[in-house]
Chain A
Amino acid sequence: MAKKRTIRTIPQQRTPAREQDPQIRRTNFEEVALGYDDAEALLESQRCLLCPEPGCIAGCPVGIDIPGFIARIGEGDVRGAYDVLARANLLPAVCGRVCPQENQCEGVCLVGESLEPVAIGRLERFVGDRAIAEGFARRPYIEPNRFRIGIVGSGPAGMACAADMARAGCAVTVFEAFHLPGGVLRYGIPDFRLPNRVIDAEIAALQRLGVVFECNTLVGRLFTIEQMIDELGFHAVFVGTGAGYPTMLGIPGDQLNGVLSANELLTRCNLMRARDFPNVDTPLPLGRRVAVVGAGNTAMDAMRVCLRLGAEQVTCVYRRSPAECPARAEEVHHAEQEGVEFHWLTAPVAVLGDFGGGVRGLRCQRMMLGEPDSSGRARPVPVPDSEHELDVDLVVFAIGTNANPIIGQTSGLALNKRGYIAVDDDLATSIAGVYAGGDIVTGAATVIEAMGAGRHAARSMKAYLGLSDPSALRVPGDPSASLFGLTPDQRNFVRLRVA
């Protein structure tokens, strides 16, 4: 029996993750963070105190048994660690890379109170990458039933819901508007942060479960949600279309040709491969001097993409201070290393045009922090007489997104006043059998929260279809309280819909 770990006996320094050199990586789209090898993962796993009442599990939106999987890594049992992870998280290789761990598990890690917290995200990624490389995710035994499930959108919410419904034995079809599945993982997050091969591996794992992907299919235009239930023979439908409708700032000049949304820049570059122009036909607006407005993860991605496309100068314009910046700390750090200039407490006032419809500059004003606003963050207020101009030829807005309106326009689904789909506690929408989750319900959030919503919806759909949840632990008890493994609640829900 090993000696009990204490804060004094564990390795004091967080194991560094190897990274590509900033000067080299700003010229390529290869992954920046290289991930732990066996020895590094083992070393880092020794830093977990395996707390009896771990805060990290509560800090995780899907409640991963974090000490459980870290302990397995410490025992050299990566397969076992994956099994623990996979119980709660279907996309560990993705979430280990893109979760904002410092606000979630690592933010409440006990070690973090006196030292740097355990690198939970990097360990999760280590296990996820190993699972892909060695094919841990084998096809479980699936008892087929006759239910057909339609899923709208192949992003994280749709993928998670598809996996759970396929495991329950349903025939699952995922509809994707673009020509490749993956949703925001594919079009939004660049290769240097989440390589395509990781997404491909996760999609392939779903296909092994029997999930069918129908790409180039825009639900709402080709057929409606109601038609999926009434005519296409789906017994239940999950809508996970995300919040992809970009916000423009509404300042003078934002209609100019050199102004675009981060979504457009990233989609052209990532999904449409415009960075290989002219070998692909997608053109890309190249900027010599670029200003990106906003400081979220999307803004960081946009800036780092611009650097890699050859921009000489990339400036981040954000109206609040670094403390309010919503991006992952690691992304800000990486962007700084690569040479992005940050103009904190600066707000754009107008985009200045040249004679050809292009951009010649961005007029900004300095801000100072005032009283907290409704979001609890300090409200930025303009500093008088502080207007100045930035010499830029491309302006990218990364200031958030709204609900995509297509499903709302084309179906009878009830929406809330912000245009998102209205759901109850079970993620059921106003149409029987139709569930929704992810950003299209909550507004822009994180990959892991969307995934959690997809799984939540899957549980509700199984109850709606009268399927018992095979992963739920059932303790035999009073026979009158249980019928065929269903609780009285579930029994009342059972609808006999014959396929």
Chain B
Amino acid sequence: MFWEDRFRAVCDEVILCTDDGSAGMKGFVSDGVERAIAAHPDIDEVVAIGPLIMMKACAEATRPHRIHTTVSLNPIMVDGTGMCGGCRVKLGDTVKFACVDGPDFDGHLVDFEDLMVRLRRYANEEKVATERWSETCRMRTLAATAP
């Protein structure tokens, strides 16, 4: 856990969540959101930034309460300047480019399922590149330690 002190310095209330309960409450972020909503019925907005599955769970947690939920999306982009269209995101019936139209969107409109499929687009290539990267790293280490 790092920067907890910094968060506490600027927040009225901080709810930490860990999967194993080693710090703060035991549970997912969405459980923390539920708890906050239960404690404060006057919450106006929820902002969720992190892994897709977490943002999706937060949006689902706030949906029954009709609390406006902003999520920050990270689809695959080539240039990030609105030029490739690779980062298109389904928002209800419309399609937006996360790089120039976002990256912050209304979490209740985002099609998370679609986004998760799109994020896996290059899963195989990512694996190859990671392996190649570790390989060159290992070679570099070997070269550096060789007599």
A: residues with CB less than 8 A from B are 177-178, 187, 218, 244-246, 248, 250, 255, 257, 260-261, 263-264, 267-268, 272, 277-278, 281, 283-285, 356-357, 404-406, 409
**Contact of A264 with B86 in the complex, beta carbons under 8 Å:** yes
Within 8 A of A (CB), among B51-67: none
- Interface flags, B116-127, vs A, CB<8A=1, else 0: 011011100110
23 example contacts (A-B, Cβ-Cβ < 8 A) are as follows A187-B83, A218-B80, A244-B83, A245-B83, A246-B85, A248-B85, A248-B95, A257-B118, A257-B121, A260-B84, A267-B83, A268-B78, A272-B78, A277-B129, A278-B128, A281-B133, A284-B125, A357-B117, A404-B81, A405-B82, A405-B101, A406-B81, A406-B100
3 A-B pairs with the lowest CB-CB distances in the bound complex, closest first: A283-B125, A357-B117, A264-B84
Q: How distant is A410 from chain B, measured CB to nearest CB, in Å?
A: 10
Q: How far is the CA of A281 from the CA of B130 in the complex (A)?
A: 9
**A263-B84 in contact (CB<8A):** yes
* Tally of contacts, chain A with chain B, CB under 8 A: 82
B82 touches A406 (CB 8 A): yes
CA distance A248 to B88 in the complex (A): 10
CB of B132 closer than 8 Å to a CB of A: yes
Q: If the complex has contacts A257-B117, A357-B117, are A278 and B129 also in contact, measured as CB distance less than 8 A?
A: yes
Nearest CB in chain B to that of A277: its residue: B125
**Bound-state Cα–Cα, A218 to B100, Å:** 12
Chain B contact residue count (CB 8 A cutoff): 27
A285 to B85, CA, bound (A): 14
Contact of A357 among B83, B100, B120, B133 (CB under 8 A): B120
Give Cα distance in the complex from A187 to B83, angstroms: 10
Q: Whole-angstrom distance from the CB of B85 to the nearest CB of chain A?
A: 4
User: Contacts A255-B95, A357-B118, A405-B100 hold; do A283 and B126 have CB atoms under 8 A apart?
Assistant: yes
Instruction: List the A side residues contacting B95 at CB < 8 Å.
Output: 248, 250, 255
Task: Check A255/B122 contact, CB under 8 A, given A246-B83, A248-B95, A267-B83.
Answer: no
What chain A residues lie within 8 Å of B128 (beta carbons)?
277-278
CB atoms of B82 and A404 under 8 A apart: yes
Task: List chain A residues, Cβ under 8 A from B100.
Answer: 245, 404-406, 409
Chain A hits for B78, CB < 8 A: 264, 267-268, 272
Q: Classify the secondary structure of B's interface with A.
A: mixed
* Cβ-defined contact, A267 with B81, below 8 A: no
Does B90 have its Cβ within 8 Å of any Cβ on chain A?
A: yes
Give chain A residues whose Cβ lies under 8 Å from the Cβ of B129.
277-278, 281, 283
Kindly report which residue of chain B lies nearest to residue A353, judged by CB atoms.
Answer: B117
Q: Within 8 Å of chain A (Cβ to Cβ): is B79?
A: yes
Q: Is the CB of B79 within 8 A of A260?
A: no
| B12 interface residue (CB < 8 Å to A) | no
Q: Shortest Cβ distance from A492 into chain B, in angstroms?
A: 39
Q: Give the nearest-CB partner of B89 in chain A.
A: A255
Q: Which residues 33-80 of B sit at the A interface, judged by CB distance below 8 A?
A: 78-80
What is the CA–CA distance of A406 and B100 in the complex, to the nearest angstrom? 7
Q: Are A218 and B81 closer than 8 Å at their CB atoms?
A: yes
Given contacts A187-B79, A246-B85, 19 further A-B contacts (CB under 8 A): A178-B79, A218-B81, A244-B82, A245-B100, A248-B95, A255-B114, A255-B118, A257-B118, A257-B120, A260-B84, A263-B84, A264-B85, A264-B86, A277-B128, A281-B129, A283-B126, A283-B129, A285-B121, A357-B118
A357: chain B residues at CB < 8 Å are 117-118, 120-121
Q: Which of B80, B82, B114 contacts A245 (CB 8 A)?
A: B82
Complex Cα gap A177–B100 (Å): 14
* Chain B 100-147 residues near chain A, CB threshold 8 A: 100-101, 114, 117-118, 120-122, 125-126, 128-129, 132-133
- What separation, in Å, do the CA atoms of A409 and B100 have in the docked complex? 9
How far is the CB of B126 from the nearest CB of chain A, in Å? 7
Q: Which residues of B contact A177 (CB under 8 A)?
A: 79, 81
Is A261's CB under 8 angstroms from B121's CB? no
Give the complex CA separation of A178 and B82 in angstroms. Answer: 12
Name B101's closest neighbour in chain A (CB-CB).
A405
